[in-house]
Amino acid sequence: MKRIEMEVTGGCQCGAVRYRATAMLDNAHLCHCRMCQKASGNIFAALVAAPDDALNWTRGKPSVWKSSELVERGFCANCGTPLFFHHLENGRTNLMIGSIDDPDAFSPLANTCTENMVAWFDTITDIEDAGATESNGADWAAAIKESSNQHPDHDTASWVVKGCDG
């Protein structure tokens, strides 16, 4: 894997946990293993790695659950956003591409653990494109935008976490 010096920021949906990486690896991929499916609540986890020495938590700390003796997974304890997959012995943390502020920067290069790929995965690009929320539900989109508690896709000097019961 090639190390690329670049700045990447990201974090959870509520803004309680934020990170910055100063380098990334060229390993963007979709993992179809059952652990990643369960951890992401999706049919795959879209991941890209930052070397551990290039990754810093800039606001809050993720909660961690050890999904096996070799792997820990990080998430925000407040909003539940999955943030990473970390193999304890390889020196890199695979960040969830969706948690990165600019997810378009990391186009997946491979599918992994394809023995667990759902049978209909290859058909998802052929399904109907219902269009943007703003054009198919303008009132709904406006109401969500007006009441959103989601952190913006960039670092903020400060942030009050909203929408939390505790």
**Between residues 56 and 141, the one the model is more confident about:** 56
Q: What is the pLDDT of residue 129?
A: 87
Q: What is the pLDDT of residue 145?
A: 77
Pairing of strands 63-66, 71-75: antiparallel
Q: Which amino acid is at 136?
A: N
Question: Up-side HSE of residue 83: CA atoms within 13 Å toward CB?
Answer: 31
- Mean pLDDT value of segment 1-19: 96
The rounded distance, in Å, linking the Cα atoms of 102 and 106 is 8
Q: What angle do CA 17, 21, 25 make, to 5 degrees?
A: 125
> 20-46: per-residue pLDDT in tens?
999 999 999 999 999 999 999 999 999
> 50-77: per-residue pLDDT in tens?
999 999 999 999 999 999 999 999 999 9
Q: What is the pLDDT of residue 166?
A: 53
Of the listed ranges 64-73, 130-139, 143-152, the least confidently predicted one is: 130-139
Q: What is the pLDDT of residue 158?
A: 87
Task: Name the 3-class secondary structure at 90.
Answer: coil
Q: Is 143 exposed, middle or buried (0-12, 13-18, 19+ CB in 10 A)?
A: exposed
- Of the pLDDT bands very low, low, confident and very high (cuts 50, 70, 90), residue 165 is low
**Between residues 40 and 144, the one the model is more confident about:** 40
- Domains of the chain with bracketed CATH: 3-118+133-147 (2.170.150.70)
Q: Is 54 exposed, middle or buried (0-12, 13-18, 19+ CB in 10 A)?
A: buried
Q: Which amino acid is at 24?
A: M
Q: What is the pLDDT of residue 132?
A: 80
